[in-house]
Amino acid sequence: MIRSYLKIALRNIRLYKTYSSINIIGLTVGLATFFIMLLYVLYQISFDKYNKKIDDIYLLTSEIKIFNNSTAFCPLTLAAKLKEKYPEIENFARYSNEKTVIKYQDRVFEEKRCAFTDPGIFDILTLPAKLGKYPTAPDGDKWIVITESMAEKYFGSVEPCGKVLNLKCGKNEYDLTIIAVLKDIPETSTFSADFIVPITINPDFNAFLSPRMYPRFLTYVLLSHSADINGLNQKLGGFSDYSLIALDLKFHLFPVKDIYFHQGTMVDNIHFRHGNLSNVYIYSIAAILIFAISLITFLMLNIGRTSLRIKEIGIRKIIGALKRDLFYQIMIESLLITFMALLPAVILVQILLPQFTQLIGIKIYSEYFHSWMFVLLFVFVAVIVGTISGLYVWAYIFKLHPADILRRRNSSGSNKIYFRRILIAVPIIIFSGLIFSSITIFKQLLYFHDKDFGFNKEQLVFFTPDYERFNNDYYAFKNLLKSNPNIINISAGAILPGENSYSMIVDSAPGTASQVVSEILLADEDFIETLQIKMLSGQTFREFGVSDSSKVCIINESALKAMNLKSPLGQELYGYRIIGVTKDFIVHSLHTVVKPAIIRYNAKSISNIVIRIQPDNIINTIKYISENSKQYNNGKPMSFSFLDDRLDAMYCQETRFAEVFGIFTGLAISVACLGIFGMSLFLIQNRVKEIGIRKVLGASVKSLIALTLKDLLLTSVISTIITFPVAYYLINKWLQNFAYRISFDVWIFLLTTLFVMVIVIMTIGIQATRAALMNPVKSIRYE
Amino acid sequence: MIKLNNISKYYENKFIKTFVLRNINLEINEGEFISVMGPSGAGKSTLLYIIGMLDTASEGEYYFYDEPVHKMKEKKLTELHKSHIGFVFQQYHLIDELTVLENLETPLLYQKIKTSERKGMVADLLDRFNMVAKKDLFPNQLSGGQQQLVAIARAIITKPKLILADEPTGNLHSGQGKEIMELLKKLNDEGTTIIQVTHSEENAKYGNKIIKLNDGWIEK
């Protein structure tokens, strides 16, 4: 029996080739999208879950009330003090990741992931050893633990334990003995390391032991399983031995399992890989929507195909099929076609997964994908889809009477037509929403790109010298570069536009008691001229004629307003005399509004150099700068970038998001078009006779095409209008992430509607035209 | 074998009753060959479908071998109909996606007959109808007469007591039509009860009794 069902199912698939291929392709794309998203979401939410004690691991943080923010940097001696005082704390490990150079015999590599930490890390995190034994306190500070892949990289098949590696970090150099090899740390870990070495050999360690210092070290804390975290946090809040009361600073334990999706500056990007929870939501919703479209398409086409086979079902009933027999047949056919889509879907996932993960900047291990759990999951999803579609078809035919079927009594009432119209409307609603969102997102990105930053960001080259004596040589370097006519101006300082770091000062404005948080920029005399920042009043440093001893500053318009300064010029501000006021310019990114800023004259602490060059001959100019920078940078050319690239890079998250979203929209449109195309085949087939009769009665081809298009176009326009409020609400929420954002015009709505209409017309136009051009003699005899 | 008491069939549509059959009283004995005649829309096919249990009467009683069909549940009806009744249609109604052999086999599959036995029955029938050479062809590769032969073969493969034929020669030219009628006659001679709907006086003569329907009434 089953063999007979399979046989007829396969013959049917072959007979209705167009239907079947649309059906299978649509479902394949839907399933593949759904599976990729499933893998992506599972990957994202599995971060740090590999740790067996994850629920008891915390990060020690310092909360600073006035910045309304917290930092994960704490004094180095704090953890030991806390452990002494609070028995709930079982263990701790301080940690920082540094760039090092590691050498073994003739093998020398620069290693970016070298963790300087306490041996406690091996107790806190789940880091199984492959070889050797992890260090304990008596092992001193001459040990190093390396990962499996590093063992492979440095030693190949040679036993690594006991070998001595030379490690160079900054100016310090150590010979360390390998005492253990650990299994590679999972990709889904916020803690990452290729090498683990004692924290005490970190060159910064001894310099930052003071309790007043908050160096770039993180502190992991392991609590006992029964610890009351709220109570402990309360106690830590009152722990005043170390906190800087003036800043209202309190210590706090932050759960490590929440790090990955945490938003804000607490968790520094240098140390932690970062996930974006709202992107995870948005991507999964988009994937589910695409899946829904493909499912609806699948259902519609199955019904369409079944309606052409009603006669067969009637005959089967007459020659003795029980309802049960027909039910099995429909289910088997439905499952068969689903599984025909499952296989290419899995292959598609296999092919597209690497591209996708590269696009969104994550790395999903393929073993992850090959595990039997996922195979089972995929099969399960396919069975569900097949069953739903089978049940839907069953619901359509089970009430039909064989006598009615064979005598072609049309039993499809107007109810069913409405229902089918809804089925067509749903994909259109979804993809018009996606089109609307895409247009908005791309418009916002364009806006970023074209936004007036308050200075001229073109043709600015940005340098970061990493030579410690550069301060002394700066003017020699500057004069040398200025002798080239292609170099217009050059300025240096700290916290310049394009830099990620912040420096804040919190103090009351002159003459008032209200606290103002201002950003401090340090710059030399050519800053305003080089960046071409517009002045509101007063003078620039160059116009003022600063000298080494000048204690002057320039403030921006926001500072002027925040501090409510009536006549700012000449006033003292935190020890510096105000000589000018600039218009607001963007220092960091468009995500936040311009803050009050104070530019202090300072040519002594240089961390960055900005050079404005002529738009012509850029390559030669760069070459010139690069050659001449060598002698001031230990013989190496300085690494440079264009400032506008750096500013664009601040939106790489958004750019990436837009790309992924665009791909989703494209997928949704293509799957929906497949579905609408398939549906139109079916709907037009049902109307061929009507069209033929109208033609005989003298209808023009044009009016016949209009007749078939009218319904569907009306449905699409209504669907689009239904979409707008929801899509508007959601995308507006996304736009709230940016301090500077686009406003909605009518044309975004019009463009979306137009887009949807064009897509729908292109999809069904050919079918409609073909039906209208058909010879009426043929179509009337069709019955 | 078949007894109809006051059978009526009507469709209700917004307070208007459209009658197809009115007060049909009919008794058919085993071994009879009945021809039902009448103009289009007289209710001939509906009567045939009601007797064949594919449709139900709106009113009246129907006894099949003294069992009350009008009181039966659908499952029982299907059982009764699949074991006792074979259908032949004007449009043949073969399953287009199945070969001749598979079309013949399908009713046996639904009867849950074992593979070996099934193969034997199909082979016998193919032999009897001289269609062994055509067993792997699809319906659209056959002429109308050949298709109707297959349809009759399919109707009798389960050895039904009753064959219902709805204008079995309606789509055939006269030579083929004659052949089909001869075949039905032969089946009747072998003991199968046959009820046919026909427009042709000539074909009606194959039967031993003619029932005339007009506007849902049996003409006396």
Residues B89-142 pLDDT 10s: 888 888 888 899 999 998 988 888 898 999 999 999 999 888 899 999 999 999
pLDDT, residue A725, reads 93
Task: Chain B: give the shortest CA distance to residue A403, in Å.
Answer: 6
Chain A residues with beta carbon closer than 8 angstroms to that of B96: 312
Q: Does A15 touch chain B (CB under 8 A)?
A: yes
Query: Does the distance separating the beta carbons of A4 and B110 come in below 8 Å?
Result: no
Cβ contact A11–B95 (<8 Å): no
Task: With CB atoms and an 8 Å threshold, state whether A311 touches B93.
Answer: yes
Q: What is the 3-state secondary structure (H, E, C) of A755-781?
A: HHHHHHHHHHHHHHHHHHHCCHHHHHH
Q: What is the pLDDT of residue B164?
A: 93
**Which segments of A650-701 are extended strands (E)?**
none
Q: Please report, as a single letter, which amino acid is at residue A699.
A: A
For residue B214, the distance in angstroms to the closest alpha carbon of chain A comes to 19
Residue A369's pLDDT is what?
61
Residue in chain B nearest A3 by alpha carbon = B109
A624-630 — which CB contacts under 8 Å span 24+ positions?
A: A624/A481, A624/A484, A624/A486, A624/A487, A625/A461, A625/A463, A625/A481, A625/A487, A628/A477, A628/A480, A628/A481, A629/A463, A629/A465, A629/A477
* Contact list, A406 vs chain B (CB under 8 Å): 89, 91, 93
What is the distance between the alpha carbons of residues A127 and A51, in angstroms, rounded to a whole number? 8
DSSP string of A612-658, one letter each residue: EE-STTHHHHHHHHHHHHGGGTTTSPPPEEEHHHHHHHTTHHHHHHH
| Minimal CA separation from B54 to chain A, in Å | 6
Q: Report the distance separating Cα B214 and Cα B201, nearest Å.
A: 16
Min Cα–Cα distance to chain A from B29, Å: 23
**Torsion sign, CA atoms A451, A452, A456, A461:** negative
pLDDT in tens, A671-707: 888 888 888 777 777 777 788 888 888 888 888 888 8
**Nearest Cβ partner of A318 from B83, B87, B105?**
B87
CATH of span B32-57+73-219: 3.40.50.300
Residues in B closer than 8 angstroms to A318, CB to CB, are: 52, 54, 87, 93
pLDDT score, position B197: 93
Q: What is the mean pLDDT of chain B?
A: 89
Distances (CA, A) of A36 to A25, A242, A346, B113: 16, 48, 9, 47
CB contact at 8 A, A163 and A200: no
DSSP collapsed to 3 states, B41-105: CCCHHHHHHHHCCCCCCCEEEEEECCEEHHHCCHHHHHHHHHHHEEEEECCCCCCCCCCHHHHHH
Contact A320 B102 (CB under 8 A): no
Residue A13, min C-alpha distance to chain B (Å): 11
Is residue B218 scored above 70 in pLDDT?
yes
Mutate one of A310, A319, A328 to test the B interface: name it (highest B CB count within 10 A).
Answer: A319
A319 vs B49, B55, B110: nearest CB: B110
Task: Domain ranges for chain A, please list them.
Answer: 2-41+279-446+653-781, 54-258, 460-649
Q: Taking Cα atoms as reference points, which of A11, A4, A322 lies closest to residue B115?
A: A4
Contacts A–B by Cβ distance under 8 A: 62
Q: A409 in contact with B at a CB cutoff of 8 Å?
A: no
Q: Which residue of B has its CA nearest to A402?
A: B54
Residue ranges of chain A with per-residue pLDDT less than 70: 64-70, 137-138, 240-248, 263-272, 364-370, 407-418, 466-469, 498-504, 506, 513, 634, 779-783
Residues of chain A neighbouring B55 (CB-CB closer than 8 A): 401, 403
With a cut of 80, say whether residue B160 has pLDDT above it: yes
Burial of A145 (0-12, 13-18, 19+ CB in 10 A): buried
Task: Looking at the complex, report in whole angstroms how far the Cα of residue A315 sits from the nearest Cα belonging to chain B.
Answer: 7
The beta-carbon neighbor of A312 closest among B83, B87, B95 is B95
